[in-house]
Amino acid sequence: MEAMNATTLDVQKLDRLRQVDGVLRTEIRGQNQVLPRVVSVVQRGELSLTKPARPRGSFLLLGPTGVGKTETVVVLTNQIFGAEKLFRFDMSEFQTQESLGLLLGAKLGEKGYLGAVRERAAEGSLLFDEAEKAHPRVLDILLQLLDAARITIATGQTLDFSGFYVWLTSNIGSAELMTLQHSNDATLERHVLSRAQQALRPEIFARITEKLVFNRLSYEHQLEIAEKFLSREIEFFAARGHKLELEKTVLPFLVRKGFHPKLGARPMRDAVEKLVGDALAGHLLAGKNSGGRLQVDESRDCLIVR
């Protein structure tokens, strides 16, 4: 019976690994130059083809805000492990030497955040957002994670993190990515990676498996993203009994309201959620039935349900 369960789990894992490339390409738009490299590391990590006594894989994700860096980590972790196996740290909260105690325990007997993570899970993703903002002593902890996947906490325990992927994100060099529009991709990538190596220290940079530069999102990619967000909103409301049909002018209207060349997908998502939600709320508050046709009201510059 145990052998059968193990076989079933192996089949499930293989299916998830085979699907991960397609799932990432569906969810993350405009970044096909980096996604295969993420998939390669994760597939090798999950098939136990990586060296022991190191994380299963490590990544530095660079690029402007709102282009899919954190979303890549979220989507991939959900696909491989489940949402509960993503452990996220905002490194802007770890800018002092004292903040080291938050990670490792501030006094004898305390587990700290990393001890709590290891207590909850033996595998998953550790995400360190805006890594360059961390205090140098905190970066030393990242160095230990990347080098040996082992950390000693204030309880005296040495914890093994070799079942985890380590992800660092950073906006280093993103201003250049937004302004040097006439440089080719290879030149921009070299420039951003050089800036990141200076900011993060060479010894940390050298131990990261993949250093990936995410592109700014073009108008065409933001159009694709708006369509994805709109479909999700329609499905979300349909599941709650509010079936909405779409006029063809709705999507261009949402793109016009949500497109931002510097902030990426976040303003688009917010615009879709607000404008569609407001239209349905107004419809329901007027005592109308829950279904209808979503369309643009040009005179009021909003969406309405008819």
CB 272 within 8 A of CB 254: yes
CA angle 133, 71, 38 (to 5 degrees): 90
Q: What confidence score (pLDDT) does residue 3 get?
A: 45
pLDDT at 301 over 80: yes
- Residue 167, helix vs strand vs coil: strand
pLDDT in tens, 180-212: 665 677 778 888 898 888 888 889 999 999 999
Q: Which ranges in the chain are annotated with CATH 1.10.8.60?
A: 219-305
For the residues 40-68, what does the mean pLDDT come to? 93
For the residues 54-83, what does the mean pLDDT come to? 95
CA angle 269, 275, 280 (to 5 degrees): 125
Q: What confidence score (pLDDT) does residue 180 get?
A: 63
Half-sphere exposure (CA, 13 Å, Cβ side) for 104? 23
Lowest mean pLDDT among 7-16, 55-64, 247-256: 7-16
The per-residue pLDDT of the chain, averaged, comes to 90
Which DSSP category does 260 fall into? Answer: -
Residue reference for tokens 């005179």: 299
Query: What share of the chain has pLDDT > 90, as a percent?
Result: 74
Q: What confidence score (pLDDT) does residue 296 get?
A: 96
For the residues 86-107, what does the mean pLDDT come to? 94
For the residues 103-108, what does the mean pLDDT come to? 91
- Looking at the structure, give the CATH architecture of the domain made up of residues 219-305: Orthogonal Bundle (1.10)
- Residue 61, helix vs strand vs coil: strand
Length of the chain as a residue count: 306
Q: What confidence score (pLDDT) does residue 2 get?
A: 43
**2-213 adopts what CATH topology?**
Rossmann fold (3.40.50)
User: Cα 63 to chain center, whole Å?
Assistant: 12
Distance CA 229, CA 44 (A): 32
Structure tokens at 288: 């109308």
Query: What share of the chain has pLDDT > 70, as a percent?
Result: 94
Give exposure, 258-290, as e/b (b: 16+ Cβ within 10 Å): bbeeebbbebbbebbbebbeebbeebeeeeeee
Q: What confidence score (pLDDT) does residue 108 get?
A: 86
Contacts of 101 (CB under 8 A, 6+ apart): 107, 110, 112, 154
Q: Which ranges in the chain are annotated with CATH 3.40.50.300?
A: 2-213
Give exposure, 86-125, as e/b (b: 16+ Cβ within 10 Å): bbebebeebeeeebbebbbbeeeeebbbbbebbeebeebb
Structure tokens at 266: 């976040």
Structure tokens at 118: 């290891």
- Residue 6, helix vs strand vs coil: helix
Distance CA 200, CA 165 (A): 18
pLDDT in tens, 211-241: 999 988 888 998 899 999 999 999 999 999 9
CB 258 within 8 A of CB 227: no
CA angle 133, 136, 138 (to 5 degrees): 80
pLDDT at 4 over 50: no
Contacts of 235 (CB under 8 A, 6+ apart): none
pLDDT in tens, 131-181: 999 999 999 999 999 999 999 999 999 999 999 999 999 988 777 666 666
